[in-house]
Amino acid sequence: MTIEREAYADAAGLFAGPGEVRAVARELNWSKTSLGSTTGWSPALRTMVRSMFNSPFPTCLWSGPDYALIYNDPYRRILGAKHPASLGQPGSVVWSEIWDELQPQFDSVRAGGDHLYFEDAPFVLPRVEGGGTETGWFDYSLSALYDEDGSVAAVLNVTPETTSRFVIQRRLTEEQSALAASEERLRLAVENADVGFWDVDIVNDRLTWPAQTKAMFGISPDVQVTMADFYNGLHPDDREETKTAFLASVDPEVRALYDVEYRTIGKEDGVERWIAAKGRGVFDASGRCMRATGTTLDITARKTADIRRDALAELTRAIRDLKSPEDIAYTAAEVLSRTLSVSRVGYAAIDHDAETLHVERDWTAPGVESLAGVLPLRTYGSYIEGLKRGEFTVIGDVRRDDRTVGPFAQALESKSARSFVNAPVIEEDRLVALFFVNDAEPREWTQGDLNLVKEFADRTRAAVARARGEEQLRALNADLERQVTERALARSRTWVVSPDLMGVINADGYFEQSNPAWASVLGWSEAEVAGAVFFDFIHPDDLAKTRAAWTDAIERGVPALRFENRYRHRSGGWRWLSWLAVPDQGKVYCTARDVTAEKEQAADLDERTAERDRMWETSPDLMLVIDFEGVFRRVNPAWTAQLGYEAHELVGRHVNDFVVPDDQGETTAAYKLAAAGGQPTIENRYRHKDGSTRWISWTAAPAGELTYATGRDITHEKEREAELKAAQEALRQSQKMEAMGSLTGGVAHDFNNLLTPIIGSLDMLMRKGVGSERERRLIDGALQSAERAKTLVQRLLAFARRQPLQPTAVDVTSLVRGMAGLLGSTLGPSIDVRVDIADDLPPAKADPNQLEMALLNLAVDARDAMPAGGELTIAAQRQSIRGRHSSGVKPGHYVRLCVKDTGTGMDEATLRRATEPFFSTKGVGQGTGLGLSMVHGLAAQLGGSLSIDSTPGRGTTMELLLPISAVLVGDEEEASAPLASVKARGVALLVDDEELVRMSTADMLVDLGFDVTEASSAEEALSLLHTGLAPSVVVTDHLMPGMSGAQLARELKAHHAEVPVLIVSGYAEAEGIDPNVARLTKPFRSGALAKTLVAMSLLEAE
């Protein structure tokens, strides 16, 4: 029972106060309703319940899941006989007859939808007395009442009765139009503004605002408020009056109705709003004011409309008596600027062709710079194109609009124009004037703002045009009156000598008077002009507009200013005339100037402009307009074709955003040179949109504040230039290697001549066992050193391509696999040797001994490049070259032999010198520097090539291309059994210019059993033959002073064919040598000489 008593006590307190419904509510057991005990009601619901009983309007709350009803005393009129049973009942019970219509409305509002409002809604009401029903009319609104947590505590239903007003309105038809307009304004005001409520607890100094009221003061729903928020949120100009009205409503002596309109400044958003507020104080029995409560309505839209309507009315009054166009424009700017609170407003003329704004005078806010003067519109954005088309330009933030981003935005902000509206004035398809509105801050221009700007622009344009027309008309009238007076005084001097045509036309279209200029300009005499209607002189294409202008002048009194048409010359041609015609008392006074030359010049200019535009649009070359800071202003379509960029991707961007970094310095210097008046020409590289690079050659010249430049794509020429440079470098390298080869070959040949007697003599001493054992060891050591020197010389000759080769069909597969074991032991256990040979590998044309040496050299070099160990791969496969190859080999079929390591690799500098003789990266004593040069020479001498691919840290690949052999392996093999003892027969004629070589070789021949006759030259040998010497064989050096060994062999073949010839050579110089002539390479031992002579059948085995 304690809980029940507490519930009744709480309800008694909540519904304390006068009124029948309060009394019923205090006695109602609310716990029996769907709302439950009042102790559980939310603060927002409790506050609204207290407030609504003070409202003079029928007000109720529909709360809880089934919309239980709570209502105030005025609402009893609506309930009729349903009161008091409806208190606390669900809506489906209270209004069961129309609940299907009401519930969707309640659900929509509670779900967070907009508030609902119905004006003059009819309701069928149950009569309180006598039974039956009656119809009443009400303004019916539904809005959500929010709890502090954002949930909907109830649906607020305010239903002021309008029955009397509605009946009166229906009866008073004569006032229907005015009343309908008033109701429409009321409806619009309510629809565009949320209804809010307020409650001030005077005793506890506590202010309660729902979310709608907080929003009217620019405060978030969850923020607590105090009376300080109310007073501080009032506009300074309205604060004192509003405060006074509120204090009067809570004053026990006054108890005034609180009914005010005031402005608020949003605490959080800074937005200015107009609010209408009503309410009254609630006093206790002692007269003490306990609280004040009431409603608020956002009337900003209505007030704004009133203000703007007043602004237009003020504009009309302000300019009505003004005569000066400048005064009219300034006055309109001043009125609009005060209405919209902007930074600047003005009306100015525009030069359509020059695209410049000519500002005489504009209105500016304090601290804002005037735009008076001439401004180039292109400097402030691309919107000039839209203005020329007559488009209304609206920009809320110049930093975000595509037409004004970048440097344009900076220029506009420097003029206090962060946002702006431009209204163009178009006459005869040309932009002639502009009404502009600027604001220094970003602004969301409302439709109301824009409508007002358009209305001001139209009225200002019309007023300015009227004033200027009146000025010109006054001046014209004065001038014509003077001329008429002078005419009356027998034609003044001006009438006679003026080059302009003058005349007076009557209402029938005949010239009553015309001056002599008609004859000089058009060839017509005064009598001829007066004898025809002036339309007879007009070009057919101009008749329609001329008749229209004539009708305006003669019937409506409208002057024709700068009217142009074509008149027929007496000779048959046409002349363009620009007319000034003013009607007065049924006649038209006119003057005209011959503008044919200007028209022709304009047409010529238009043609040149069109040609320039066509060139701009169709040129394959890049064209641009750039400012002195390097920012693109305009680009032609070739940028899309050549570099892939659309115009909007370039304009407003800096040129160096698209130039490769290495060329940006030169590019900057070029546009700075242009800014100083120079005419730069440069070549630089641009990034294509696809990521590639293009070379562009530029020619540029400054004009005014901009630079105009043309660029041509020279990427192809640059590539050809690079290829030529590479070819020239390759040629220089080839010539260098050829020169080194010639030098090396010559040196090696001389070494062979030196080594031949050394090796021959030491070999003889060894074979004969001369000396003691110690001496024989010394001889053997010397012979081994000589053999190493011979190997070194062979490498030099291999590089010089003069190494004597014995090319044959080589089975590369067998050769490589046979060397695998040798390589494994030579390279050591830290090197993993792998072999990858194609199964169908054909034989290669090569010298097997030299090829083995080449492979060994490459493997040793690879080992040295892998000090910590690694992997060595020897691979071979067939390769066909059908076109140009990077190594320079001829097209054909080859065996491709690769030696690949995982070592340290080579940089570019090392790679360029890798095949030079004696070049080595190894330490002193660790290599001769001839390994790669020998392999290079071997490959080239066989008709193949050596290629090197290497990258530091990623290893090296040596690629050896060897021609495929035309014969099979085995077809060229010869018996190689060791020689047995041999004996010679006959005389050997020995020819050599080197005495030591000749002496050593002679000893070998003698040991072989020959009788030796020596000759120091080929000429001496022929002389001996002529004197009767009949040798069994002629052994001759190849290169000698005078006649060479090859020439001697040919001479012997011609005259002594029966004498066999053996040519001994220091290197494989085969030019001029008969391939059938036997050859032997220096240096050689006695065994090699004997083997060769046996092959020639000059020695017999014993």
- CATH code at position 957: 3.30.565.10
pLDDT of residue 920: 61
Q: 499 preceded by cis ω (within 30°)?
A: no
DSSP letters, 536-567, are GGB-GGGHHHHHHHHHHHHHH---EEEEEEEE
pLDDT at 276: 92
Residue 973, burial from CB neighbour count under 10 angstroms (0-12, 13-18, 19+):
exposed
Residues 979-1015 as b/e (b if ≥16 CB within 10 A, e otherwise) read eeebebeebbbbbbbbeebbebbbbbbebbbbebbbb
Residue 102 clears pLDDT 90, i.e. is over it = no
Instruction: Give the pLDDT band (50/70/90) at residue 174.
Output: low
Residues 589-634 have pLDDT tens digits of: 889 998 888 888 888 877 777 777 788 888 888 899 999 999 999 9
Q: Which among 367, 382, 450 is positioned nearest to 415, based on CA atoms?
A: 367
**Helix (H) or strand (E) segment spanning residue 687:** strand 681-687
How confident is the model over 852-880, as pLDDT tens digits?
777 877 888 888 888 888 998 999 999 88
Q: Which of 298, 324, 342 is the last residue of a domain?
A: 298
SS3 labels along 299-355: CHHHHHHHHHHHHHHHHHHHHCCCCCHHHHHHHHHHHHHHHHCCCEEEEEEEECCCC
Residues 243 and 363 in one domain: no
* Cβ–Cβ < 8 Å for 1045, 717: no
| DSSP designation for 427 | E
Give the residue numbers spanning the domain of 201: 195-298
Q: What is the pLDDT of residue 187?
A: 42
- Cα 387 to Cα 426: distance, rounded to the nearest angstrom: 9
Pairing of strands 844-846, 870-881: unpaired
Q: 89 or 130, which is more confident?
A: 89
- Asked if pLDDT for residue 335 goes beyond 70, the answer is yes
Residue 1028 and residue 1096 share a domain: yes
459 with 333, same domain: the answer is yes
Closest CA relative to residue 899, chosen from 827, 825, 799: 827
Query: Given a cut of 60, is residue 441 above it in pLDDT?
Result: yes
The count of other CB atoms within 10 Å of the CB of residue 354 is: 12
Q: Does residue 369 form part of some domain?
A: yes
* Cross-strand bridge partners of residue 587: 584
Q: What is the Rg, in whole angstroms, of the alpha carbon atoms belonging to the chain?
A: 58
Q: Are the C-beta atoms of 945 and 887 separated by less than 8 Å?
A: yes
CA distance 380 to 425: 19
pLDDT band at 1071 (very low <50, low <70, confident <90, very high): low
Q: Is residue 731 part of a domain?
A: no
**391 and 258 assigned to the same domain:** no
Give me the percent of the chain exceeding a pLDDT of 90: 26
The total number of structural domains in the chain stands at 7
Q: What is the reported pLDDT for 744?
A: 60
Query: What CATH number is given to the structural domain containing 1063?
Result: 3.40.50.2300
Asked if residue 18 and residue 154 are part of one domain, the reply reads yes
pLDDT tens digits, 285-306: 888 999 999 999 988 888 878 8
> Which pLDDT score, from 0 to 100, does residue 867 have?
85
788 within a domain of the structure (yes/no)? no
Confidence tier at 119 by pLDDT (50, 70, 90):
confident
- Asked if pLDDT for residue 952 goes beyond 60, the answer is yes
Q: Which of 200-204, 496-500, 793-797, 1095-1099 has the lowest mean pLDDT?
A: 793-797
SS3 178: helix
Binning pLDDT at 50, 70 and 90, where does residue 649 land?
very high
Do both 996 and 1086 map to the same domain? Answer: yes
Query: Can you give the pLDDT at residue 447?
Result: 86
Q: How far apart are alpha carbons 792 and 803 in whole angstroms? A: 11
- One DSSP character per residue, 563-608 reads EEEEEE-TTS-EEEEEEEEEEETTEEEEEEEE-HHHHHHHHHHHHH
Whether the per-residue pLDDT at 972 is higher than 50: the answer is no
What CATH number corresponds to the domain at position 119?
A: 3.30.450.20
- Report the distance separating Cα 809 and Cα 844, nearest Å: 6
- Start-to-end CA distance of the chain, whole Å, equals 152
Q: From CA 109, how far away is CA 406, in angstroms rounded?
A: 46
pTM, whole model, 2 decimals? 0.33
Reported as a single tens digit per residue, the pLDDT across 894-937 is: 999 899 999 888 888 777 777 666 666 665 444 555 557 677 77
pLDDT in the model for residue 576: 92
pLDDT given at position 630: 92
Q: How confident is the model at residue 476 (pLDDT cuts 50, 70, 90)?
A: low
Residue 157 in any domain: the answer is yes
CATH number of residue 340's parent domain: 3.30.450.40
| Same domain, residue pair 215 and 331 | no
Q: 294 with 308, same domain? A: no
Backbone angles phi, psi at 528, to 5 degrees: -70, -35
Most confident of 229-233, 846-850, 973-977, 1056-1060: 229-233
Lowest mean pLDDT among 369-378, 430-439, 498-507, 736-745: 736-745
**What is the identity of the amino acid at 1060?**
P
| Residue type at 915 in one-letter notation | T
> Could you count the other beta carbons within 10 Å of the beta carbon of residue 916?
18
Question: Residue 5 has what pLDDT?
Answer: 81
Distance, in Å, from the CA atom of 43 to the CA atom of 148, rounded to the nearest integer, reads: 8
Strands, E, within 404-479: which ranges?
419-427, 430-439
Q: Of 94 and 170, which is predicted with more confidence?
A: 94
Give the confidence band of 656 by pLDDT, cuts at 50, 70, 90. Answer: very high
**Same-domain status, 325 and 462:** yes
Last-in-domain residue among 235, 264, 298? 298
522 and 589 fall within a common domain: yes
Six-digit token pair at 1065?
């050579």
Mean pLDDT across the stretch 384-397?
91
Q: How far apart are CA 702 and CA 938, in angstroms?
A: 63
Nearest to 262 by CA among 296, 229, 238, 237: 238
Same domain, 817 and 944: yes
Whether residues 912 and 991 fall in one domain: no
Give the C-alpha distances (Å, rounded to integers) separating 400 from 404, 418, 649, 1042.
8, 10, 15, 93
Helix/strand/coil for 293: strand
- Residues 137-159, mean pLDDT to the nearest whole number: 85
Tell me if 744 is assigned to some domain.
Answer: no
Q: Coil, strand or helix: which one is 132?
A: coil
How large is the average pLDDT for residues 550-579? 86
For residue 125, the 8-state DSSP code is E
CA distance linking residue 583 with residue 558, whole number of Å: 7
Mean pLDDT, residues 1084-1092 taken together: 82
DSSP code string of 207-228: EE--HHHHHHTT--TTS---HH
Q: How far apart are CA 435 and CA 538, in angstroms?
A: 37
In a domain? residue 508: yes
The answer to whether 437 and 363 are in contact (CB under 8 A) is no
- Per-residue pLDDT, 442: 93
- From CA 967, how far away is CA 540, in angstroms rounded? 98
Q: Residue range 42-46: average pLDDT?
A: 86
What is the C-alpha separation between 745 and 1067, in angstroms, rounded? Answer: 8
Instruction: Give yes or no for residue 1000 having a pLDDT over 90.
Output: no
Average pLDDT over all residues of the chain: 83
Bond before 1083 cis per omega within 30 degrees: yes
For residue range 194-221, what is the model confidence (pLDDT) as tens digits? 588 899 999 898 999 999 899 999 999 9
pLDDT for 708-755, tens place per residue?
999 999 988 888 888 788 667 656 765 665 665 556 656 666 767 777
3-state SS record for 1041-1075? CCCCHHHHHHHHHHHCCCCCEEEEECCCCCCCCCC
Q: Residue 241 pLDDT > 80, yes or no? A: yes
Other CB atoms within 10 Å distance of the CB of residue 970: 10
In a domain, 168, yes or no: no
Confidence at 188, pLDDT banded by 50, 70, 90: very low
Q: Is residue 155 assigned to a domain?
A: yes
| Separation CA 623–CA 701 (nearest Å) | 12
